[in-house]
Structure 1
Amino acid sequence: MRADWTSFIAEDARALTASEIRDLLKVAERPEVISFAGGVPDATLFPLSEFRAVYAELMADEAAGRSALQYSISEGLPDLRSWIADDMAGDGAKRSIDNILITNGAQQGLDLLARLLLSPGTQLIVEKPSYLGAMQAFACRSPAYVGVGMDAEGPLLAEMEAAFQGGARLAYLQPDFQNPTGLRYSLQRRRDVLALAQRYGALLIEDAAYCKLSYDGAALPSLLALDGEGADSADAGTVIQLGTFSKTLVPAMRIGWLTAPRPLIDRMVLMMQASNLHVSTVNQAVALRAAKKAFPGHLGTVRRVYRAKRDAMVSALTDFMPGNVTFTRPEGGMYVWLTLPEGFDARALLEQALEAEKVAFVPGQAFFCDKSGTNTCRLSFSAGSPERIRDGIERLANLIRRVHNQVGEAA
């Protein structure tokens, strides 16, 4: 008798579904396709010379090299955590290295938090729309999503308070250049959201993956920094923050971190020990040395190049898109959010865009916990050249016009 392998799959694992973005990347990698799909960094910006030097220096130092190739502590290398703590302090968030856990990218931090804080049916507040990768990480715990709408300044406070009044005590938020919309919370909205969470005794998970990619406007304090104002203990607080080198240095190192009160860190250290023991020691050592060499000069280059790409996309959208299509004008990050006329199906549009125009994007519905947003799209500007971005937007705009005219004729 042959085993039915599917019957062995646990209920939690059955909740996992394929990422539309990952599937799209397979198609978008074809050279003839202009892709606005994957939110991947521009590989031409990776600081190769610094990494060559770092690897050579590390392995030339016998003691350091042998240490980097050995097992390490689950919390992460103390020197790396110290660098991260100093960097956060420069942005106004004062935390000890004891409040920092190194993770295998920020995505592992999301997985750890899901396993630590969520049980089936736990109410979890998420933005509408929200980061698809986070909802995938949370899905295996079967939370009860409570979607909160957004305006240009951040989450709608009335909806957030209603969620807290309904019993929710946990929220996942992206205050800086949100994936997928590119929006950034205003300073007042940050203060108001934090005040609401503190009033109801709730926890906020702040995803700060894009906070360093600011191109316009004044720097704004993170929720973590605001949470520390007047606090008398770093082991108390309302905000858990996720950070990463993937968007600012290189993604392949898979170096992320999680900042939380020590009691939560202690629990997650035990979870790390039961899963992957610790993040690659050599990757941590290399990332630390590369960050010391590359920042802030490298970050300045990244911001300058991405600002030009952002400008190219916004300019092309302004020049080519029909008047009944709206879009965000992000001050940072990697994304522009497109809203099509009512009645448009972005999934169907994508099929036509790939076939007729060789253009790829991500349909927006995947980013909504309630599967709304069928007429929305996420466009990423990070990987393409300004010239290719403009070409792709013109092709997409022409297609939208054709589809809109066909719908009008059919009506």
Structure 2
Amino acid sequence: MDWAQVFASRQSRMKASEIRELLKLLDQPDIISFAGGIPDPALFPTDAFSEAFADIFSTAEGQQALQYSVSEGYKPLREWLAQQMGEIGIPCDLDNILITSGSQQALDYLGKLFLSPNDTALVTWPTYMGALGAFNAYEPHYDRLDPASNRTADDYRATAEAKGGAVKFAYASVDFANPTGMTMDRRERQGLLDLSEALDIPFIEDAAYQSLRYDGEPQPSVLAMEIEKRGTIEDCRTIYCGSFSKTLAPGLRVGWVVAAKEVIQRLVLIKQASDLHSASLNQIAINRVARATFGKQVDLIRKTYSARRDHMLAALEREMPDNVSWTRPEGGMFIWVTLPQDIDGADLLAESLKTEKVAFVPGRAFYADSANGNGIRLSFSCALPDKIDEGIGRLGRVIRQTSAQT
């Protein structure tokens, strides 16, 4: 069987995630890894989940947890989310919320909903590689989304038309973005809204890290800003994607989408055709744990990750050569390091693994055009202080050695 002849054209756009591959290194005891952008499992509320699962199966709810359910998601969980959304300036009701299998599934569904082959998606440069992976299957082109640029809507529109399609949406993570760790200020967020309105397209707000602010001035959600202007979510173009993966438990794969009802209704149809509904048991357990411990859990994560971020920033200041720079995030899990132009992150990774046993994510994978190879992403969420000191010291050494050879 010649399988290649029957694969859909979109298959050629699907590529293995560099992060997924690098996660395999976590099982090697001699590797110091700053690669995986994953929560520290030592901080998971395991006792709360153990109690929740036991309670579920000690009541009639246990039968419900093992049964088919509605595609929109577990009603009590959506009720809790509606309350939480209201507290951050996003008043909505149950029909504005869809539960997904992590926010990654939400990105896939939104790509399926909006993109036809040769359409254009506007994304930041760099951007979350998982978003590129989700959108790639629908065969789009990409254009650079930069709220500080002077590009006009007409320019974006003409560029998309020249490529055989239309601009369909803008996508960004505006809080502690993966991979840079950077946060957009209110003026930049308003610029995204203004551009989206001028192009008459949706704006997809990836809020996976929104709860993980450690310092700095809190910024309003883009959807909250738009609701403040328009008065109701039903008149808004912003689509908010949230997740419990960074706060409670990534393994349970529970995320959510908040948007105008017309959008949610379309996404529900995609959900029904895709997997019917997210796992009932996981949703019920998340609902119980979120109601009991969410605030306490977020406080613990903020305290722990904030200290690790500070430790890594201090180590970078101490160990990096003068021709290397890096971001200073106010939250999240990541620091973006910019290397000299003549050092490629992928080449540096190969040398680092070979000689220093330090892992990180090369930056090229975060660019839709695979350019800008001199960036690397470091994650501090799972790094203990002694490993940060040792690993950043080794990384500084291999960068100096590589610089001397180029």
TM-score normalised by L of structure 2: 0.95
User: How far does residue 164 in structure 1 lie from its aligned partner after superposition?
Assistant: 5.1
CA deviations 1:199-249 (Å, max 9, x no partner) are 332210010000000001122111010110132442221200110000011
CA contact (8 A) 2:145 2:170 kept: no
For residues 237 and 266 of structure 2, the distance between their equivalents in structure 1, rounded to whole angstroms, comes to 17
For residues 83 and 54 of structure 1, the distance between their equivalents in structure 2, rounded to whole angstroms, comes to 16
Say whether residues 1:12 and 2:10 are aligned partners.
yes
Q: Which residue of 2 aligns with 1:158?
A: 150
For residues 79 and 28 of structure 1, the distance between their equivalents in structure 2, rounded to whole angstroms, comes to 36
Relative distance call for 1:164 and 1:189 in structure 2 (3 A) is farther
For residues 34 and 363 of structure 2, the distance between their equivalents in structure 1, rounded to whole angstroms, comes to 13
1:10-409 equivalences under 5 Å are 10-61=8-59, 63-149=60-146, 155-159=147-151, 161=153, 162-163=155-156, 166=159, 168-407=167-406
For residues 387 and 61 of structure 2, the distance between their equivalents in structure 1, rounded to whole angstroms, comes to 44
For residues 27 and 52 of structure 1, the distance between their equivalents in structure 2, rounded to whole angstroms, comes to 29
For residues 246 and 230 of structure 2, the distance between their equivalents in structure 1, rounded to whole angstroms, comes to 30
For residues 371 and 285 of structure 1, the distance between their equivalents in structure 2, rounded to whole angstroms, comes to 41
Identity of aligned residues (%): 43
For residues 316 and 116 of structure 1, the distance between their equivalents in structure 2, rounded to whole angstroms, comes to 44
CA contact (8 A) 1:28 1:360 kept: no
Q: 280-289 or 4-13, which moves further after superposition?
A: 4-13
* SS of the residue 1:17 aligns to: coil
For residues 160 and 18 of structure 1, the distance between their equivalents in structure 2, rounded to whole angstroms, comes to 34
User: How far does residue 50 in structure 1 lie from its aligned partner after superposition?
Assistant: 0.6
* SS of the residue 1:389 aligns to: helix
CA contact (8 A) 2:96 2:260 kept: yes
User: How far does residue 19 in structure 1 lie from its aligned partner after superposition?
Assistant: 0.8
For residues 152 and 348 of structure 2, the distance between their equivalents in structure 1, rounded to whole angstroms, comes to 33
CA contact (8 A) 1:147 1:370 kept: no
Q: Which residue of 1 aligns with 2:163?
A: none
CA contact (8 A) 2:115 2:168 kept: no
User: How far does residue 6 in structure 1 lie from its aligned partner after superposition?
Assistant: 2.5
Aligned positions, number: 399
For residues 272 and 323 of structure 1, the distance between their equivalents in structure 2, rounded to whole angstroms, comes to 50
Q: Which residue of 2 aligns with 1:152?
A: none
**Amino acid corresponding to residue 224 of structure 2 in structure 1:** A
For residues 163 and 363 of structure 1, the distance between their equivalents in structure 2, rounded to whole angstroms, comes to 29
* SS of the residue 1:243 aligns to: strand
For residues 12 and 374 of structure 1, the distance between their equivalents in structure 2, rounded to whole angstroms, comes to 25
Which runs of structure 1 show a deviation greater than 3 angstroms over 4 or more consecutive aligned residues?
Answer: 159-162, 164-167
Q: 257-266 or 275-284, which moves further after superposition?
A: 257-266
For residues 108 and 146 of structure 1, the distance between their equivalents in structure 2, rounded to whole angstroms, comes to 22
For residues 77 and 383 of structure 1, the distance between their equivalents in structure 2, rounded to whole angstroms, comes to 31
Residue segments in structure 2 that go unaligned for 5+ positions in a row: 161-166
For residues 164 and 310 of structure 1, the distance between their equivalents in structure 2, rounded to whole angstroms, comes to 40
CA contact (8 A) 2:204 2:240 kept: yes
TM-score normalised by L of structure 1: 0.94
CA contact (8 A) 1:121 1:144 kept: yes
For residues 222 and 177 of structure 1, the distance between their equivalents in structure 2, rounded to whole angstroms, comes to 13
For residues 236 and 183 of structure 1, the distance between their equivalents in structure 2, rounded to whole angstroms, comes to 29
* SS of the residue 1:366 aligns to: helix
For residues 88 and 251 of structure 2, the distance between their equivalents in structure 1, rounded to whole angstroms, comes to 25
User: How far does residue 59 in structure 1 lie from its aligned partner after superposition?
Assistant: 1.2
User: How far does residue 14 in structure 1 lie from its aligned partner after superposition?
Assistant: 2.7
**Amino acid corresponding to residue 170 of structure 1 in structure 2:** F
CA contact (8 A) 1:148 1:159 kept: no
User: How far does residue 169 in structure 1 lie from its aligned partner after superposition?
Assistant: 4.2
Relative distance call for 1:350 and 1:250 in structure 2 (3 A) is same
CA deviations 1:148-178 (Å, max 9, x no partner) are 35xxxxx323247442564534101110000
Q: 343-352 or 160-169, which moves further after superposition?
A: 160-169
* SS of the residue 1:235 aligns to: helix
For residues 347 and 152 of structure 2, the distance between their equivalents in structure 1, rounded to whole angstroms, comes to 33
For residues 74 and 256 of structure 2, the distance between their equivalents in structure 1, rounded to whole angstroms, comes to 11
Q: CA RMSD in A?
A: 1.3
**Amino acid corresponding to residue 212 of structure 1 in structure 2:** S
